Structure 1
Amino acid sequence: MTNTPAFAFTRAEGEPLAEQIVRAVAARVDERLLRPGARMPSIRQFAASHGVSPFTVVASYDRLVAQGYLESRRGAGFFVRERQPVPARLATQPAAVPDSLDIAWLVRSMFRQAPLGFQPGSGVLPVGWLDGPAVANALRALSRQNCDGLLGYGPPHGFLPLRQQLQLKLAEMEIEAGPEQLVTTLGVTQALDLVAREFCQPGDTVLVDDPAWFLMFGSFAALGLKVVGVPRRADGPDLAQLEHLAALHRPRLFVINSVLHNPTSSSISAAKAFQVLRLAEQHGFLVVEDDIYCDLHPGGATRLAALDGLQRVIYLGGFSKSMAANLRVGFIATSRERALRLSDRKMLATLSTSDLGERVVYKILSEGHYRKHLDRIRARLDKARPGALRRLETLGLAVESAPAAGMFVWVDAGCDTNALTARALGLDILLAPGSLFSPNQQPSTRMRLNLAALQDPAVWRFLETRGA
């Protein structure tokens, strides 16, 4: 037996004995009281000398091996492992700002800021606005069920009960789609990628709103597609430009946020929605309706998929903005034939999506708490919006069209927002400059602000001085 010092454990602490052993041994290793290479007592020796069961020691040693404190040598026992020093915390100093800001830079910066606090350039709600207990409760409930269904691949179209629940959700928006018309995805990002890969070839043109969600610009370009922007107005796309560009480029797709457009939070009018569908039929392109922000809208919005019956519209949705970004659960609603093609394309890309994440989302949706959660989010945004808009105007940040719903406001700062973003990053404040929201990536005086993130006094101090 080694000269390992004895440990004191108690059953009165309320902490399981295995966890006490792991904590005590780990502390001795971290404090160098147990040196690398030292042999640990055998399982029976440790159990006998400390009055615990061998099963408890086995569980403890296994966890210490998994955490890198011990190593198991077959036939020889357990030994203290050499550990690399771990920094107390990751460096949080801003990365150097490149000469030219691009999409990859903004995405890297967003993840560097994780977990996101009050970052006005973020595209998601602060964590404190989301319903963490609902996600945790759903996970706990799943852990108590038979785990056989979690151990294999999920079905190609996605978890059937979730698709049946989505059928009900879509019906409330007057979008008729059976489960066989729905394909689950790893968020809307994968949904867009699958659609582009299935229905486009290198060299094809894809029309997008301008401004629009920046990530798809780089994704489409990587597929060899030409991305052309259609100017966005307060009530939808510029129809004259859409008609001109459709005739000129013969696009395969037109990707549009019809409701709570990113970055302006505007929504399409019924009149323009009908005209978009008319032009799609006339020029032979598919309309991809990205409705990721649908749950932040109070209701009554016009949706292209409802007007079209999913004949020429491919509808995309998900829960990253309102439930949990980390679940990565999105979906596609389209015709049966296209849904089958997209499920095959999905299998070629990832075999299947995470059945666990889809079961969590199904659990939350089916229990009815999600509606109340959305009511709370919308109420908080409605409360924050008027004061924030007035204050922005007071500071000289012009808002062309004040949004009535949603989390974003599109402002004109009156200066190059690339330079403004660089100054903000020096203070660990993340902004989203307007240049990134246009396919041509030209410098812009505009930027997107997240209303939910305009609760931090430091953000307002920066906006007041513009970092001067």
Structure 2
Amino acid sequence: MTNTPVSSSLSLSRDSGEPLADQIVRLVAGRIEERLLRPGARMPSIRQFAATHGVSPFTVVASYDRLVAQGYLDSRRGAGFFVRERPQPARHMAAPGPSSTATLDIAWLVRNLFRQAPMQLSPGAGVLPADWLDGPAVANAMRSLSRQNSAGLLGYGAPQGFLLLRQQLQHKLLEIEVEAPPENIVTTLGVTQALDLVAREFCRPGDTILVDDPAWFLMFGSFAALGLNVVGVRRLADGPDLEQLAELAARHKPSLFVINSVLHNPTSSSLSAAKAYGLLRLAERFEFTVVEDDIYADLHPGGATRLAALDGLKRVIYLGGFSKSMAPNLRVGYIATSHERAQRLADRKMLCTLSTSDIGERVVYKILSEGLYRKHLDRVRGRLDAARPRALRQLEALGLRLDPAPSAGMFAWVDAGRDTNVVAARAMREELLLAPGSLFSPKQLASTHMRLNVAALQDAGTIRLLERALAG
């Protein structure tokens, strides 16, 4: 294939409003995808392409560089640009669901949550649908950040986290009566890293960590990989079963107890004041530290009891973040604790990742500091309050029992009266992702329960698929 046909086959428009470099990239990429430009074909030189199409050499350079970055062209020093061999696109196949006799494990659910395209319906997901989140606020914050002096964006972030964000978090925590100056706060890559850092710093292989039962499944595997013994404490409608907690604490002498105090995952229940005081007394008696995972805090309408507020961050380590309410992709979380623990955790963070991304933290800071987040939360909570009653009625009509009936948050914990591993396997064959109760058990025990996201149950087609999976 000669150079002239390659170049002359492109028709650029000055009147479309689309930048010339974008047109060149789109048109060349299209011809490569259509195999009209075959692998190994030499592209016109920059000067020749520019002369043929009446564009500047700088435009051609920018276009070729982007085509190289996107895998369409190879740049060979001294020889020019050549069409690169493109991998054949894999035909989409539904991720294999387990058979009715197979064990669904945590990795199965996480793999399917992160499938790229096409994504199945996800009433088992733990995040809000993308169109419920404030994409324009995130995009505007990123554009604003791009206009700042780039020198501050190119180095490592501060090990303890972006200072202005930590100062903003101090004000945010005061709203729930948790006092934590910036030096007592460490930013993290979401609550997932926060839990990992805390476990690594304050536990040793063989130690016991107590968790809610049921609870967020991902931490079970993470803690087990550190050689820790994970033991569940029965979760009731108003918090943990304190009698069982006392028994387990006496038997295992745990280092930590990890708990969702507000909008517990997966039940959406919240801790009562009486249970909070009882829990703190047991923590003091048996000398374990409480890790309060408050990732769903901002979806609560207010007035909930926080262990960190009652305790003053003496025996409680508080975790928060923005993946559930702002944007999962920002991966911005934080730890609030005593000054001594914060220093230890910042050092531990340096050993693991040096620092977190200053860019994501600056984006979150801008959204928080401009008051946009508060308005966004009002909209999301209102939308959830409107969606929840209808979703719960539909679930009950399918024969599912609410255990308990949620009054806030995005989750419903339902009893299907049958093994939900089997239900989830059937659903997956229909491209419907469910979260069976076995995954939320520290021992991965079979369960008749499952977690459903009310925000993902607004489409009649989703309800029909769920009904079909339940019917068998």
Deviations 1:371-395 (A, max 9, x none): 1111111111111222222332232
Residue 248 of structure 1 is matched in structure 2 by 251
Structure 2 match to 1:2? 3
**Quick check: 1:409–1:448 contact (8 Å CA) kept in 2?**
yes
1:371 equivalent in alignment to 2:381: no
Report the 3-state secondary structure (helix = DSSP H, G, I; strand = E; otherwise coil) of the residue aligned with 1:112. Answer: coil
2:401 maps to 1:398: yes
CA shift at 1:260, angstroms?
0.5
Name which of 78, 82, 101 aligns with 1:79: 82
Using a 3 Å threshold, how does the CA distance of structure 1 residues 54 and 287 change in structure 2: closer, same or farther?
Answer: same
Q: Letter of the aligned partner of 1:351 in structure 2?
A: L
- CA RMSD after TM alignment: 1.6
Residue in 2 that maps onto 1:46: 49
Deviations 1:259-288 (A, max 9, x none): 001111111111110111111111110000
Call closer, same or farther: CA 1:117–1:404 in 2, change over 3 Å: farther
Report the Cα offset of residue 118 of structure 1: 4.4
What is residue 96 of structure 1 aligned with on the other side?
A: 97
What is residue 352 of structure 1 aligned with on the other side? 355
The within-5 A match list for 1:410-421 is 410-421=413-424
The more displaced of 263-272 and 66-75 is 66-75
TM-score by length of 2: 0.95
Equivalent position amino acid for 1:227 in 2: V
Match of 2:447 in 1: 444
Cα separation, partners in 2 of 1:15 and 1:263, compared to 1, 3 Å: same
Secondary structure, in 3 states, of the residue corresponding to 2:114? helix
Q: Tell me the SS of whatever aligns to 2:3.
A: coil
How far off is 1:79 after superposition? 2.2
Q: Is the 8 A contact 1:116 1:127 kept in 2?
A: no
> 1: CA distance between counterparts of 2:404 and 2:166?
36
1:165 and 2:168 matched: yes
8 A contact 1:423–1:467 mirrored in 2: no
Shift of 1:85: 2.5
Aligned residues: 466
1:284 to 284, 287, 290: 287
SS of the equivalent of 2:254 reads coil
1:47-62 paired onto structure 2 within 5 Å: 47-62=50-65
* TM-score, scaled relative to structure 1: 0.96
Separation in 2, partners of 1:101, 1:47: 57
Aligned residue in 2 for 1:301: 304
Q: Is the 8 A contact 2:121 2:431 kept in 1?
A: no
State the AA in 1 paired with 2:403.
Answer: E
Is it true that 1:138 corresponds to 2:116 in the alignment? no
* Identity within the alignment, %: 74
Residue identity matched to 2:451: R
2:466 and 2:41 map into 1 onto residues whose CA distance is 57
The alpha-carbon deviation at position 23 of structure 1 amounts to 2.0
**Structure-2 residue corresponding to 1:216:** 219
CA-to-partner distance for each residue in 1:166-217, whole Å, 9 max, x for gaps? 0110000000000000000000000000000000000000000111111111
Q: Distance in 2 between matches of 1:357 and 1:433?
A: 33
What is the rounded CA distance, in whole Å, between the counterparts of 1:115 and 1:324 in structure 2? 20
SS in 2 for 1:3: helix
Please give the alpha-carbon distance, in whole angstroms, between the structure 1 residues aligned to 2:53 and 2:438: 65
Q: Which runs of 5+ in 1 are unaligned?
A: none
Q: Say whether residues 1:342 and 2:345 are aligned partners.
A: yes
